[in-house]
Amino acid sequence: MKDQHLSLGRLQERHSRELFQDDGLQTVTSAEQKKVEESISKAIHAHLEDHKMTRPMLLREQHIAYLTEGLQHLSDVFETLDASRPWLCFWLLHSLDLLNHPLSPDLSSNVCKFISRCQSPTGGFAGGPGQQAHLAPTYAAVNALCVIGTQEAYDVIDREKLLGFLYSLRQGDGSFQMHEGGEVDVRSIYCAASVASLTNIITPDLFEGTCDWVVRCQSWEGGLGGLSGLEAHGGYTFCGLAALVILKGQHRLNMRSLLRWACGRQMRMEGGFQGRCNKLVDGCYSFWQAGILHLIHQTLIQEGDPAVGVGGWMFEQRALQEFLLLCCQCPTGGLLDKPDKLGDFYHTCYCLSGLSIAQHFSCASPPLDLIIGGAHNTLAQTHPVYNVAPQKVDRALGYFRALPRHGRPHSSSTRPAL
């Protein structure tokens, strides 16, 4: 494990060298970019001045307290989050898992009971008790239960009805609706593929034509849009690529073009990622984009592509960690989009997930760790396809493979390789 320290001189040099240049043609976009760069510089210098140290510190205890408080008050959510309660469970549970903080058996059981109330009688999970089943909270609910990883958690999932729910949303071209009568995009395919593979209910015809549909979403930029012909976007690109990895169709993408697009999304001055070209940095893309680059790396290794190396991911791991630790932590707990923004559970989850990927390079033998600020900052690893701990993925797959199969005859599910 390499213990990497901050260098104020190096940071100052990089920031001054990589400041955005508008060539005298100011636009709304360029003005906003300059504001963000100023806030980044202020955050870093404030940290160094206030703390009088060169080691950025993960505020582990503050984050744990913030997350635990949220988990104990799932019923006291804001009205705007009433349809996102399984998401809250997943964000909170996975964040605590990354921080290596175990849950008490009673709290785990209470979460299982709450998620059970979100399960629809017709299959799948809703955003809250009594609401309509939807693929997005179904994905979040299954992930949350896999993070808990107990028999009580697994047994919440009605696999037979879940399979029927997935079939009810499947379209003739291989795509999926998000809910009955709802929209179709790459997110729905990823959610369907993720829950079907984790619970071992994939059938031969459930995803017939799905890989073809996803491949058509790769744009001229190299990334994937939500639909064919749309602008490449980090969230949609992750969903499309991860779904193809699950369905073993990732090799059909133009991987070099995808690599070029993904590498270009890391911001030169800030160190974090943007979601699209000419957009601002956002902490949540630390996972979406770093996860993409992890999956690309693994795919290119399988193809024997000489473009990949064995010394680290194809992004600047140090710069991403510095951005997250110096610019995205709330002093009272929780992580955020960027300086001057408020923290929330969503950004906490995906900032920590991206930080985990930046710390652990799993394609080397033995794996290589690059920990900025010392061992205290080390997070647990996360699986780049499911964003659940690899051992939790293995445990879930082992459990569900041992159960009787439901629905139409189907082939066995396998865990995508790290």
Q: How far is Cα 407 from Cα 418, in angstroms, rounded to an integer?
A: 29
Tell me if residue 328 is catalytic. no
Q: How far is Cα 388 from Cα 356, in angstroms, rounded to an integer?
A: 11
Amino acid at the residue 8: L
- Catalytic-labelled residue, pool 94, 134, 161, 233: 233
- Catalytic-labelled residue, pool 97, 158, 185, 337: 337
Tell me if residue 97 is catalytic. no
Q: How far is Cα 126 from Cα 115, in angstroms, rounded to an integer?
A: 9
- Catalytic-labelled residue, pool 191, 217, 239, 284: 284
Tell me if residue 101 is catalytic. no
Tell me if residue 394 is catalytic. no
DSSP-assigned states of every residue in 104-131: PHHHHHHHHHHHHHTB-TTSSBBSSTTS
Tell me if residue 279 is catalytic. yes
Q: For the stretch 57-84, what's the b/e string if a residue is b when 16 or more beta carbons lie within 10 angstroms of its beta carbon?
A: ebbbeebbebbbebbeebeebeeebebb
Q: Which of 394, 313, 390, 324 is nearest to 357 (CA)?
A: 313
Looking at the DSSP assignment, which residues form a beta bridge with residue 370? Answer: 2
- Catalytic-labelled residue, pool 60, 279, 395, 410: 279
Tell me if residue 3 is catalytic. no
- Catalytic-labelled residue, pool 155, 305, 344, 369: 344
Q: Cβ–Cβ contacts within 10 Å for residue 121, how many?
A: 7
Looking at the DSSP assignment, which residues form a beta bridge with residue 372? Answer: 4
Tell me if residue 89 is catalytic. no
Q: How far is Cα 227 from Cα 216, in angstroms, rounded to an integer?
A: 8
Region for residue 201 given its phi and psi (left: phi exceeds 0; alpha: psi -120 to 50; beta: otherwise) = alpha
- Catalytic-labelled residue, pool 94, 347, 360, 383: 347
Amino acid at the residue 319: A
- Catalytic-labelled residue, pool 15, 154, 282, 338: 282
Q: Any long-range contacts for 12-18 (C-beta under 8 Å, 24+ apart)?
A: 14/269, 14/319, 15/40, 15/41, 15/44, 15/269, 18/268, 18/269
Tell me if residue 350 is catalytic. no
- Catalytic-labelled residue, pool 66, 139, 285, 386: 285
Tell me if residue 45 is catalytic. no
Catalytic residues: 233, 276, 279, 282, 284-285, 337, 344, 347
